[in-house]
Amino acid sequence: MLEYPGGSLNLGVTHHYIFSENFLGDLGVTKTAAGFSNTSSCVLFVIAMTCVGISLVGFAGSWHAIAESRGIPVRTAWLYKWSATGSGLCFVGIGLTPSNLLPTAHNVLALAGFALLAVFVVALVDVQRLNRWPKRYILANLLYLAVLATYALILVSGQSTSTHNGLVFEVATQKIMVYSSILNLGYQAFGIRKALTPSRAAVQMAPR
């Protein structure tokens, strides 16, 4: 955001990123709405989205850690794995398709990425439920799914970005959804990492 040279859908020429009026995808364009070159911000955006995608693909096998807590067979393991993988690949694609050059591909990949992410979270809840994972992680996932569902309803409601209020509303809801994704996935990863890390007491009691 600090590297973004300026340019907004409605305001035209600005000289910095406006948090309430610039979409996150604006950071990945090659040229802003104001006509400024956006090379540095675009490169950082591609790196960030690639890291997100690789992380999701790497997270696809984490169901093993949850299942091993109770050893209950997981019916949705394949869905867990492939939805996370597909979502991760879509996020890499989002970074590689600037919205000013390839708007259709960018939007399709964004929709597909979050749709697959929703499927992944549903499968994650199923795996957690079957293996009696701590309820706080399941509740966090359910809350996140509610946020995603609300955002999807807003998208299909036909809210226009041609007005100032409409643009601010769309930008705000996008950021709430994206930051909710980051917080929830980080929290779920924390829970899995915690489960895989032996407790200090267990380590001290282990035979040497």
Share of the chain above pLDDT 70, in %: 91
* Total Cβ atoms within 10 A of residue 109: 21
What mean pLDDT do residues 197-202 have?
53
What angle separates helix 103-130 from helix 77-96, to the nearest 10 degrees? 150
- Segment 4-27 shows an average pLDDT of 87
> Hey, is 122 helix, strand or coil?
helix
Give the CA-trace dihedral at 94, 186, 151, 17, to 10 degrees: -60
Q: At what angle do helices 39-59 and 77-96 cross, to 10 degrees?
A: 170
83-124 per-position pLDDT tens digit: 999 999 999 999 999 999 999 999 999 999 999 999 999 999
Highest mean pLDDT out of 25-29, 64-68, 128-132: 25-29
User: What dihedral do alpha carbons 61, 63, 64, 66 form, nearest 10°?
Assistant: 150
Mean of the per-residue pLDDT values for the chain?
88
Average pLDDT in the 122-127 region? 92
Query: Is 18 a residue whose pLDDT tops 60?
Result: yes
Average pLDDT over residues 130-148: 94
Task: Report whether pLDDT(202) > 50.
Answer: no
Average pLDDT over residues 174-193: 94
pLDDT of residue 12: 64
